[in-house]
């Protein structure tokens, strides 16, 4: 199904939304924790499906970090500490304790009060890595504030990658939906958003795939691309945590009462066809039951894959 490129009026939903939502984020059968994360906050009008790299503990950091920064920036303004002050006992939102040694002797990372911290085995103390949430962000409207947060996470991940931390990989892809005065979808990589309306499922995002770019630019035919030895690996042209900028593609989307929005990681749409996805999304059952059915169907095909599915129904 092709992206909806010709929405005539992206603001026809008005300024208020009644939302019901559910989400499932489940790790595959691989060893180690899931690399995926999700945000499902109908009270904030904020939803996200984030795909990291599955594996050992450090692979969890990028996706969890982006999720918690998004929730922080979409919610009430927190009380932030001055950059020169370190909290003695912060209320950590995420902490990752290593199960095996790292090359730079970092044995934990945490996020709290707007910053990413690391704890070193050398002195056992927490040290600030990066400030990701700044007071001046609250001078921005919510959408620019969230995009600025994504960029801050991107830059922090780039710096961590340059340090060569063992088991660390940047985020592969993410898709974020913000219901404010309009619905805005931002994505990078192959995280996808779909809209179900009147029984028809339409893709709202276009995957940032290398071979799609080469075909669209005329450098390769679709037949030649399909024969390339790397085609099945679906290499991406944009990911969060690598490159000069986050590369997020931002789109306003028209929604109306009765629409159902699906956000999902690549673990879903690379395992089952759009027609099968549409059948489940349009089917009976609660939103949570339909999310469970989508994840189960994908992991029946590829048990090792992490899968995330978030469904949002517009009232």
Residues 104, 163 contacting (CB under 8 angstroms): yes
* Global pTM value: 0.84
Helix (H) or strand (E) holding 274: helix 274-281
Residues 223, 24 contacting (CB under 8 angstroms): no
30 burial (CB, 10 Å; 0-12 / 13-18 / 19+) is: middle
Answer yes or no: is pLDDT of 93 > 80: no
pLDDT in tens, 192-244: 999 999 999 999 998 887 777 777 788 888 777 777 777 666 778 788 888 88
Of the pLDDT bands very low, low, confident and very high (cuts 50, 70, 90), residue 249 is very high
- Domain map (residue ranges) of the chain: 19-77+140-314
Q: For domain 19-77+140-314, say whether CATH 3.60.40.10 is its number.
A: yes
What average pLDDT score do residues 179-189 get? 92
Share the mean pLDDT of the chain. 81
Of the pLDDT bands very low, low, confident and very high (cuts 50, 70, 90), residue 61 is confident
Please report the pLDDT score of residue 244 as a whole number. Answer: 82
Of the pLDDT bands very low, low, confident and very high (cuts 50, 70, 90), residue 90 is very low
- Distances in Å between the Cα of 133 and the Cα atoms of 61, 76, 79, 160, 261 are 17, 12, 11, 17, 28
Please report the pLDDT score of residue 8 as a whole number. Answer: 36
């Amino acid at each position: 199904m092709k992206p909806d490129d010709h929405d005539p009026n992206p603001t026809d939903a008005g300024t208020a939304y009644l939302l019901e939502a559910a989400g499932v984020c489940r790790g595959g059968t691989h060893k180690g924790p899931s690399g995926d994360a999700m945000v499902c906050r109908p009270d904030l009008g904020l939803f996200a499906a984030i795909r990291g790299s599955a594996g050992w503990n450090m692979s969890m950091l990028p996706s969890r970090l982006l999720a918690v920064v998004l929730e922080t920036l979409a919610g009430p303004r927190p009380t932030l500490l001055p950059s020169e002050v370190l909290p003695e006992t912060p209320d950590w939102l995420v902490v990752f304790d290593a199960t095996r040694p790292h090359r730079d002797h970092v044995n934990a990372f945490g996020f709290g009060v707007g910053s990413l911290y690391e704890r070193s085995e050398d002195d056992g103390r927490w040290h600030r890595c990066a400030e990701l949430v700044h007071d001046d962000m609250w001078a921005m409207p919510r959408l620019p504030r969230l995009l600025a947060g994504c960029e801050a996470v991107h830059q922090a991940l780039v710096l961590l990658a340059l340090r060569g931390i063992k088991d660390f990989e940047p985020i592969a892809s993410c898709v974020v939906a913000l219901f404010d005065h309009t619905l805005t979808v931002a994505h990078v990589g192959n995280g996808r958003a779909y809209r179900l309306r009147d029984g028809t499922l339409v893709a709202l995002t276009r995957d940032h795939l290398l071979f799609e770019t080469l075909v669209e630019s005329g450098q390769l035919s679709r037949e030649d691309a399909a024969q390339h030895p790397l085609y099945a690996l679906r290499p991406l042209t944009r990911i969060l945590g690598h490159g000069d900028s986050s590369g997020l593609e931002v789109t306003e989307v028209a929604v109306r009462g009765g629409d159902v929005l699906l956000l999902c990681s690549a673990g879903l749409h690379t395992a089952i066809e759009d027609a099968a996805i549409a059948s489940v999304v349009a089917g009976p059952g609660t939103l949570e039951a339909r999310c469970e059915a989508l994840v189960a169907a994908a992991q029946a095909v590829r048990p090792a894959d992490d899968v995330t599915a978030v469904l949002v129904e517009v009232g």
